[in-house]
Structure 1
Amino acid sequence: MTRTQANAVMLTVAVIWGLAFVPQAWGMADMGPMAFTGLRFALGALVVAPLAWREHRQTAQAEAAAPGPALPGGLWLWMSALGVLIFAGAGMQQMGLLSTSVTNAGFLTGLYVPLVPILGWWFFKRAPHPVVWPAALGCLLGTWLLAGAKQVEIAAGDWWVIASCIPWALHITLVGWVAERWNAPYRLACVQFAMCSALGLATAWWLEPLSWSAIQAAAGAIAYTGLISVGVGYTAQVVAQRYTHPADAAIILSSETVFAALFGALLMGDRLSLLGWAGCSLILVCIVAAQWVPLVWRRGATA
């Protein structure tokens, strides 16, 4: 696969994820957010499971002969921790969709992008490029504009989505570090999805009513978000990122915010004021700048 082909795959993933916000919202009409999260990630784990098993059979002997660097606390601890972070991010995002629009959720989810280099600095002492700081401030200003430029008027659903950016950013920061020490992306993805599913279904059993009729009513939304968004989308991302630059991937994937707004307008009738569109535009510019400016800077320094 060439770098251009890999970038085309990443753009397809961004479209898949942008569209997923719509069935995620539709699914809330029939069941609670934790049950929906648990069921869709269970389907995602089933999609990846055959690839994970094939990967295990192909690499088991090589790993036994030449084990990679040890992970503090053990591999299963880190895989489980990453699964908890996915559950926290997906669960809070799903809670947010109960009381915010698809467009708002899409753009606010993108706030994790400026957080990633800041967390990398915190955990791994990798100083972020100076552009990250104005980009982060710009995202905050964009969020205020998206809320209508009013004081304390951000909806409860918006706050849930904003909070979900923290576990998403933590996951992206840590998953690369784990993957460097264990070259098994499909097994890592499968365990993470299974952990997220188990936590979601356990929480739903405790807090939410769930019936077979509700599952049947939300079957279409669960199928798309589980089979396509989680199973195909995440797996395609893993494959494509082996052939493209990480900064390219982050910039392309951040376009899911634009596709979320597009599909929200086409399929759910979402509409924004001029201030809202200004906020969305500012958030998108800051997201892209946080990844694109350091990439150009590094290329210039190399040249």
Structure 2
Amino acid sequence: MPSTRSRVRFAVSRYELALIAITALWGATFFVVHLAMQHTGPWFFVGLRFVVAGLVSVLVFHRSLARIRWRELGAGAAIGAAIALGYGLQTAGLASIPSSTSAFITAFYVPLVPLLQWLVLRRPPRRMTLVGVACAFAGLLFIAGPSAITVGLGAGEIATLISTVPIAAEIILIGAFASRVDARGVTIVQLLAAGLFGFAAMPLTGEALPAPSWDWLLPAVALGVASCLIQLTMNWAQRHVSPTKATIIYSGEPVWGGIVGRLAGDRMPWTTIVGALLVVAGVLVSELRPRRPEREDAQVTGDTAGLPAAEPAPEAGEPARR
């Protein structure tokens, strides 16, 4: 007699592991950007960072240039605009607010992605994904600490808060275009577009060119190479990982940032440790997929002998299996 108890399966794919790896690299950039902002303006730094990333991607994937179509150009320009606006505003905020406050405010993109996906694309997320989002966001609150909750909203806080919208839009756009474009081609376009948009914002904001210095040049080049790797991995992995699940993984960014800060000499309070555990728990919870009892599955399919059961519908934002 078949068991009627619900079973839960847990699996982490190589695509999710890749996103976890680039999230760790992503988290380390907070400290680097904060130091660089002492020597340059945010929009020049973002422009140089992503132009370098785009040129690196051209050198590595030059064969993909022949396969770039109007579809890659359009998708890359849209994603690049979101990247430039999101990173530009977040970088501007990091010039005047502590990294913990920035991490707390930036965390708003975590619940924003499934909510925007629900409102704009009419794709409701799974129940366990919502639980994972809530758990991860609660962890981010612990990481930020109580002082971040009571801080007043100045220019840096407002810029960082606004940045969460294009950051969430970037994730949704990548998920929307991932299965329909060449990953390498669109990566080249979006990185170069983000850099050009960053430079274009300089005269609009009145930002001047910085004085020549290795203090901003070396970080910009290093982050440019890292950005190329990050964006390529996002475009490749999000073909198989939904935007909501990807957001859960990306929410570990401040955890990795805290680890880098600790290695650099920062003390890690108990609230940060609790927050890190909650974020990891959010990732794990989002991967739990309860199965229906076999009897219920039989009733759903109508106990139709000889007919194969229908495949489960893909998760919101996840491309259907071909």
Alignment equivalent of 1:114, drawn from 96, 111, 116? 111
Alignment equivalent of 2:232, drawn from 235, 248, 257? 235
Cα 1:133–1:88, aligned 2, differ >3 Å: closer, same or farther? farther
Larger radius of gyration: 2
Residue in 2 aligned with 1:162? 161
SS in 2 for 1:80: helix
- 2:291 maps to a residue whose letter is G
- 1:1-303 superposed matches below 5 A: 5-57=14-66, 59=67, 76-130=73-127, 132=130, 135=133, 139=137, 143=141, 146-148=145-147, 151=150, 153-154=152-153, 156-182=155-181, 184-206=182-204, 207-211=206-210, 213-214=212-213, 216-228=214-226, 230-241=227-238, 249-267=246-264, 269-270=265-266, 277=272, 281=275, 285=278, 289=282, 292-293=284-285, 295-297=287-289, 299-301=290-292
Q: Could you tell me how far 1:5 is from its partner in structure 2?
A: 4.7
Structure 2 CA distance, aligned partners of 1:38 and 1:21?
Answer: 17
Work out whether residues 110 and 133 of structure 2, in 8 Å CA contact, stay in contact via their aligned partners in 1.
no
Structure 1 CA distance, aligned partners of 2:150 and 2:246?
Answer: 35
TM-score normalised by the chain length of structure 2 = 0.71
Cα 1:139–1:190, aligned 2, differ >3 Å: closer, same or farther? same
Cα 1:124–1:252, aligned 2, differ >3 Å: closer, same or farther? closer
Cα 1:4–1:174, aligned 2, differ >3 Å: closer, same or farther? closer
Structure 2 CA distance, aligned partners of 1:22 and 1:168?
Answer: 19
Cα 1:17–1:166, aligned 2, differ >3 Å: closer, same or farther? same
Q: Could you tell me how far 1:111 is from its partner in structure 2?
A: 2.9
Work out whether residues 38 and 197 of structure 1, in 8 Å CA contact, stay in contact via their aligned partners in 2.
yes
Structure 1 CA distance, aligned partners of 2:136 and 2:234?
Answer: 28
Structure 2 CA distance, aligned partners of 1:302 and 1:75?
Answer: 44
Query: How many residue pairs were aligned?
Result: 281
- 1:173 maps to a residue whose letter is I
Cα 1:222–1:138, aligned 2, differ >3 Å: closer, same or farther? closer
Q: Could you tell me how far 1:22 is from its partner in structure 2?
A: 1.3
Q: Which runs of 5+ in 2 are unaligned?
A: 1-11, 295-322
Structure with the higher helix share, 1 or 2? 1
Identical aligned pairs, as a percentage?
Answer: 26
TM-score normalised by the chain length of structure 1 = 0.75
Q: Could you tell me how far 1:149 is from its partner in structure 2?
A: 6.9
